Amino acid sequence: MGNGMIRFFLVLLLFLSSAEYIFSLYEDQVGLMDWHQRYVGKVKHAVFHTQKTGRKRVAVSTEENVVALLDLRHGEIIWRHVLGANDAVDAVDIALGKYVITLSSEGSILRAWSLPDGQMVWGSFLQGSNLSKSLLSLPVNLKANKGNVILVFSKGCLHAVSSIDGEVLWEKDLSAESIEVQQIIRPLGSDMIYAVGFVGSSQFDAYQINAKNGELVKHKSADFPDGFYGDLLLVSSDILVSLDATRTSLVTIDFQKGEIIFKKTHVSDIVDESFGTAVLLPSELSGMFAVRFNTLLVFIKVTIEGKLEVVDKITNAAAVSDALSFSEGQQAFALVEHVDRKILLTMKLVHDWNSDLLKESIAMDLQRGMVQKVFINTYIRTDRSQGFRALIVMEDHSLLLLQQGEIVWSREEGLASVIDVTTSELPVEKKGILVVKVEQSLFEWLKGHVLKLKGTLMLAGPEDIAAIQGMRLKSSEKSKMTRDHNGFWKLLIVLTKAGKLYALHTGDGRVVWSLLLPSLRESGSCKRPTGLSVYQWQVPHHHAMDENPSVLVVGRCRPNWDAPVALSFVDTYTGKELKSMGLIHSCAQVIPLPFTDSTEQRLHLLIDAEKHAHLYPRTSEAIGILQHEFSNIYWYSVEADNGIIRGHVLTSNCIGMVDEYCFTSRELWSIVFPSESEKIIATATRKLNEVVHTQAKAIADQDVMYKYISKNLLFVATSAPKASGEFGMAQPEESCLVVYLIDTVTGRILHRMTHHGSQGPVHAVLSENWVVYHYFNLRAHRYEMSVMEIYDQSWVDNKDVWKLVVGKHNLTSPISLYSRPAVVTKSQSYFFTHSVKAIAVTSTAKGITSKQLLIGTIGDQVLALDKRYLDPRRSLDPTQAEKEEGIIPLTDSLPIIPQSYVTHALNVEGLRGIVTLPAKLESTTLVFAYGVDIFFTRIAPSRTYDSLTEDFSYALLLLTIVALIAAIFVTWIMSERKELQEKWT
Amino acid sequence: MEKGKGVMVGGRRWAVDFTDNSTSPSRDIPDPPGFSRSSQDQDDSTLSRQKKDAESNWKSQKAWEVAQAPFKNLLMMGFMMWMAGSTVHLFSIGITFSALWQPISALQGVGKVFEPYKDSRVDLLGPKLLFIALNLGGLALGVWKLNTLGLLPTHASDWVFSLPPAQEVEHSGGGIPLC
């Protein structure tokens, strides 16, 4: 019955549900299937705000360009601002006890945020020409007419800014002096400011400036023939420390006396042994400084005479805080060391090294890595003694508050910088576990059901309703660690910038396990490792069921693309690294092949910089499988900078190498775009695991169109080089967007289309036989979205029903792309209101359910848009048959239905990507959106036609059945009785 | 019915049936004198033949009438179908299925319909054939309606709908180099 039956069911469906498919939630359904986690990112700098009364808070700025205020008690975010991608925060401080001051965008924007609520009070744009270090200093007691003065050095200019309204009081341009200012120093209580820095590599300059009006008072300059390396460090109000160019000598600079005095001390003179090159730690410890030699940390004191004295040498030190002054002018700083599996936090007085104010050892999860930063704060304990709390930033970017030898709270800030996501199934449920659980909480279970019954019978009071809602949100079903029937619960395997792998449970978003990958940690051979991507390595089913699934993590030692690759294989059930390989060859591409070996390990080809292909897993079985399909394996590379796309085919084993897993490849074809008019700005391919149910598409009047479904389809968008930058750089006449559909096996251009007067950025998604892309139309001054569908013409002749009935057709036989199937494309464009950050499409288990586009809007929300709105067959006046088919009359712009925001009232701040995963239930797609925040939900693009909805009242159904059975019994008894009575009469 | 049930269930009332049907086959009792069975038969036959002729006439007439009854039904159905239109909705589906069901159930009960008119002298073949033909016509009408509603797999689209997409021989991967 095929189509007929499906139509019939569709009609039934239409009867059951309303005609308009809109994804929407009721208020009490929020949080039932979605979760949202808010983060700030890796903390760069933290400033405490702990007055005697009121909430204890800490203002932080992070690597994700976030400014936030955190509550010190529980660590939750009080307020947060995500600045733009190129608006990195350089410095943060608190002024007047009520403003959080941030300097961002390489020192060009100074903003003040109201401390309690995070509203912006003022913002100033600081002018300047040169690129330079950005320094922010808030001197105490430097008063002007209007409140305190904020000193900012940025872009070669020293600015004094009023902290009340952000007005620039004066500015002193130092850019003409070609000085690289390293420090802005204001000795306590004086009206003078010193700007010190280097000119060239070997000249030290100091400018003395009047803090009241910005006038230059004195300029001193001195040559240091040995040259300087790195930064200047202020040790006391008049002494600076730096390293010489060879990094073997320490240089102290006394600049406040009549002339500048350099004093050079060779490292080996004060430290007995030589440990290699020295690095100055940027911690500001008054009268002291710290130098790191590989693993050794040496504290050196500067005596009044300007002599250097070694105070202590510490081997396992991880981080040192700035000095913090507390009661009676005493100054203390924190030192963190790693001892075994614990971290040792020591608070030391600056002037009295031998006495420790505090020494606490805290057990620390090994997966958090090393301590990278520590910020300290004091408080008065209940017994009036001085207490210290420390905020530490770990290697995995997590943020922890330590107080009294305990971790008060921790935040998994690593999740704010997700690089790649994949998924893993949960273990299959084993019998016998569940029973115990139910028995234990039988009473709870009963109570819950009584409450639910009360709810359905509308007997519940407001407290009961709240309790029911709480129960729904914290249902134990959601956190089960076994596979569920609908396939909703999975593990999201998330790779973060810190090189840490997290497994998140899709039910409630908790971290099931986390692993700081050893191969992605800094080591001697791997200086700046970066994680690249994560792939499903082994997905056991059928015959390899007893194996645990595993993922492949690909990383690289240095950010450049010819750096050696590091591979890790991680078990997704236990979170343990199974094995790792490193430093073998470089890696430009990772190509998962559509073949698996007998243990369900997927074959992967890694293409290195020399265009050799390396096969993984390294087994002879894998080679056997590859050899079988050898001539059919191709790969392509998109060289965006050169404007070339090249196609390659594998040829033979590598010559001159005894590596049987290495293969050479030969260039087959190349597409060269004219560099003066076209620049590649975006590409899109189909997702590898996308399932397409059928190739045929029935259209009105029972005709069939055959979709061109190819896994080897590449969408490329090019734009005029002039228009590939910001808006307003190009006139509509000179900008033009060209889109291509390319077959990556043969290099054949299937379709080419030009959008005149349009420009990027282009966001595109390719699925089944269509591609949807978003770009800017310069002529109309609006964003547009276009859809392009591609159909196969070579099968159109299959019209004989009888042949199809008996199966005599070639529709399912394997095809070669060299047969050059005839294709036809249809396309249409629409206006779209939003600019777009990311675009994705829903994917379901069998590919039957209709699709929705998931659009990450500029407002950091995810909008679900039915694919039906992007259908090139839409026309202004569709015929009756077309209407029946579900074609919507053509409108010039795409509708944005407020209820169809998947993220409802939430924002996924700094949205970067959207990932969709199919659930086992055909109607349902799991959606994971990540940015600074992470968000997960599940959506049903055509409603949950294959299951009862969450709000379906089982109790009512049960009640009805019971009532009906009771009614049957009652009437039966009554009729019996009546009959008997009649017989007696 | 009440009484019969009463007898069966209660067993309080009783009755004796004096009529004995079993006499006719066993003719061990001789006829009374002067009674000639044959003459009575013949005597009766003239009267009863007329009566039987009339009856069989009537029967065959009735049979033809019954055979033609589906025609009216057919017209009625046709009208209903025309009213229902060609779009798929509950009403048209209901009508179509009843249009299919009626002829089928009628065809199943052909024997039963013509049972009352069964007679050795009445030729029921004609009416039966007509009845069957008309019902088949009705069935055809139903099927035609089903087809116009698009519920019959008579198009290529109905057969290719569940076919999986063809496998490709070649495989290619790659993209912009990882950075």
Taking an 8 Å cut-off on Cβ atoms, the answer to whether A11 and B159 are in contact is no
Taking an 8 Å cut-off on Cβ atoms, the answer to whether B177 and A559 are in contact is no
Indicate whether A184 pLDDT > 50.
yes
**Residue A490: closest CA among A14, A133, A917, A116:** A917
Indicate whether A871 pLDDT > 70.
yes
Taking an 8 Å cut-off on Cβ atoms, the answer to whether B164 and A710 are in contact is no
A662 inside domain: no
Q: Calculate mean pLDDT across residues A271-294.
A: 78
Tell whether B115 is within 8 A of chain A (Cβ): no
Cis amide bond preceding A617, omega within 30 = yes
Name chain B contacts of A588, Cβ cutoff 8 Å: 177-178
Name chain B contacts of A809, Cβ cutoff 8 Å: 160
Distance from CA of B134 to the nearest CA of A (A): 27
- Nearest-by-CA chain A residue for B93: A8
Q: Calculate mean pLDDT across residues A85-103.
A: 88
Query: Which residues in A716-738 are b (16+ Cβ under 10 Å) and which e?
Result: bbbbbbebbeeeeebebeebbbb
Of B157, B175, B179, nearest to A696 by CB-CB distance is B157
Last residue in a domain, options A475, A501, A518: A475
Which amino acid would we find at residue A971?
T
* H-run or E-run covering A266: strand A261-266
Of A561, A647, A703, nearest to B178 by CB-CB distance is A561
Cα(A861)–Cα(A38) distance, integer angstroms? 14
pLDDT digits (tens, 9 = 90+) for B82-119: 888 777 788 888 888 888 898 899 888 888 888 877 77
Name chain A contacts of B145, Cβ cutoff 8 Å: none
Distance from CA of B12 to the nearest CA of A (A): 12
* pLDDT mean across residues, chain A: 85
- Nearest-by-CA chain B residue for A638: B176
A354 inside domain: no
pLDDT digits (tens, 9 = 90+) for A97-109: 889 999 988 888 9
Distance from CA of B35 to the nearest CA of A (A): 51
Of A4, A587, A635, nearest to B172 by CB-CB distance is A635
Taking an 8 Å cut-off on Cβ atoms, the answer to whether B163 and A634 are in contact is no
Name chain B contacts of A792, Cβ cutoff 8 Å: none
Tell whether B7 is within 8 A of chain A (Cβ): no
Looking at per-residue pLDDT, the higher value among A925 and A266 belongs to A925
Taking an 8 Å cut-off on Cβ atoms, the answer to whether B165 and A695 are in contact is yes
Indicate whether B7 pLDDT > 70.
no
Taking an 8 Å cut-off on Cβ atoms, the answer to whether B157 and A745 are in contact is no
**Residue A742: closest CA among A812, A686, A798:** A686
pLDDT digits (tens, 9 = 90+) for B30-68: 777 777 666 555 556 677 778 888 888 888 888 888 888
| pLDDT confidence bin for B6, thresholds 50/70/90 | very low
Instruction: Find residue A586's DSSP bridge partners.
Output: A564
Looking at per-residue pLDDT, the higher value among A709 and A723 belongs to A709
pLDDT digits (tens, 9 = 90+) for A939-956: 998 888 887 776 677 788
- Nearest-by-CA chain A residue for B163: A694
B106 inside domain: yes
- Hey, of A801, A803, A818, A884, which one would you mutate to test binding to chain B, going by the most B CBs within 10 A of its CB? A801
Angle at A372 between CA A368 and CA A378, to 5 degrees: 105
| pLDDT confidence bin for A10, thresholds 50/70/90 | very low
> How far lies A613's CA from each of A557, A586, A624, A651, A660, in Å?
19, 11, 16, 10, 11
| pLDDT confidence bin for A583, thresholds 50/70/90 | low
Q: Calculate mean pLDDT across residues A862-887.
A: 89
Asked whether the whole model's pTM tops 0.90, one would answer no
B77 inside domain: yes
B44 inside domain: no
Tell whether B177 is within 8 A of chain A (Cβ): yes
Cα(A940)–Cα(A927) distance, integer angstroms? 10
Cα(B111)–Cα(B92) distance, integer angstroms? 31
- Hey, of B89, B91, B159, which one would you mutate to test binding to chain A, going by the most A CBs within 10 A of its CB? B159
Taking an 8 Å cut-off on Cβ atoms, the answer to whether A8 and B178 are in contact is no
Indicate whether B135 pLDDT > 70.
yes
Of B163, B168, B177, nearest to A817 by CB-CB distance is B168
Whether B81 contacts B95, CB under 8 Å: yes
Name chain A contacts of B88, Cβ cutoff 8 Å: 7-8, 11
Most confident of A301-305, A469-473, B100-104: B100-104
A470 inside domain: yes
- Hey, of A3, A495, A626, which one would you mutate to test binding to chain B, going by the most B CBs within 10 A of its CB? A3
Of A11, A710, A812, nearest to B163 by CB-CB distance is A812
A183 inside domain: no
Taking an 8 Å cut-off on Cβ atoms, the answer to whether B172 and A636 are in contact is yes
Last residue in a domain, options A415, A450, A475: A475
Taking an 8 Å cut-off on Cβ atoms, the answer to whether B175 and A587 are in contact is no
A3 inside domain: no
pLDDT at B1: 41
A177 inside domain: no
| pLDDT confidence bin for A273, thresholds 50/70/90 | low
Name chain B contacts of A812, Cβ cutoff 8 Å: 163-167
CB atoms < 10 A from the CB of B87, how many?
A: 13
Residue carrying the six token digits 């009408």: B141
Taking an 8 Å cut-off on Cβ atoms, the answer to whether B166 and A636 are in contact is no
Taking an 8 Å cut-off on Cβ atoms, the answer to whether B164 and A694 are in contact is yes
Of A635, A703, A816, nearest to B174 by CB-CB distance is A635
Q: Calculate mean pLDDT across residues A833-852.
A: 92
B24 inside domain: no
Taking an 8 Å cut-off on Cβ atoms, the answer to whether A702 and B153 are in contact is no
Name chain A contacts of B174, Cβ cutoff 8 Å: 589, 591, 607, 635-638, 744
pLDDT digits (tens, 9 = 90+) for A217-246: 888 888 888 888 878 888 877 788 888 888
Q: Calculate mean pLDDT across residues A120-144.
A: 80
| pLDDT confidence bin for B4, thresholds 50/70/90 | very low
Distance from CA of B64 to the nearest CA of A (A): 38
Indicate whether B132 pLDDT > 80.
yes
Q: In this prediction, does ipTM exceed 0.90?
A: no
Tell whether B169 is within 8 A of chain A (Cβ): yes
pLDDT at B43: 58
Instruction: Find residue B101's DSSP bridge partners.
Output: none
Q: Show Cβ contacts of residue A417 under 8 Å, excluding neighbours closer than 6 positions.
A: A41, A42, A63, A64, A397, A496, A497, A498
Q: Which two tokens stand for residue A760?
A: 């990027």
**Residue A742: closest CA among A784, A722, A771:** A771
A276 inside domain: no
Distance from CA of B170 to the nearest CA of A (A): 5
- Interface A–B counts its CB contacts (< 8 A) at 182
Angle at B104 between CA B101 and CA B108, to 5 degrees: 135
Q: Show Cβ contacts of residue A206 under 8 Å, excluding neighbours closer than 6 positions.
A: A194, A195, A196, A219, A220, A221, A255, A260
B19 inside domain: no
Provide, rounded to the nearest whole percent, the portion of chain A with pLDDT above 70: 93
Q: Calculate mean pLDDT across residues A781-810.
A: 82
Residue carrying the six token digits 């819950």: A448
| pLDDT confidence bin for A872, thresholds 50/70/90 | very high
* Number of separate domains in chain A: 2
Taking an 8 Å cut-off on Cβ atoms, the answer to whether A801 and B154 are in contact is yes
B54 inside domain: no
B25 inside domain: no
Whether A516 contacts A369, CB under 8 Å: yes
* Number of separate domains in chain B: 1
Q: Show Cβ contacts of residue B84 under 8 Å, excluding neighbours closer than 6 positions.
A: B91, B92, B95, B96, B145
Cis amide bond preceding B33, omega within 30 = no
Domain span including residue A962: 958-984
B97 inside domain: yes
Domain span including residue B107: 66-152
pLDDT at A647: 93
Whether A598 contacts A544, CB under 8 Å: yes
Helices (H), A752-823: 801-806
Distance from CA of A499 to the nearest CA of B (A): 15
Distance from CA of B2 to the nearest CA of A (A): 9
Name chain A contacts of B157, Cβ cutoff 8 Å: 2-3, 696, 698, 702-704
What sign results for the dihedral spanned by CA atoms B157, B163, B166, B172? positive
pLDDT at B153: 79
Sheet of A43-49, strand order = A43-49, A57-62, A66-71, A77-82
Q: How many CA atoms lie within 13 A of B165 on its CB side?
A: 24
pLDDT at B97: 87
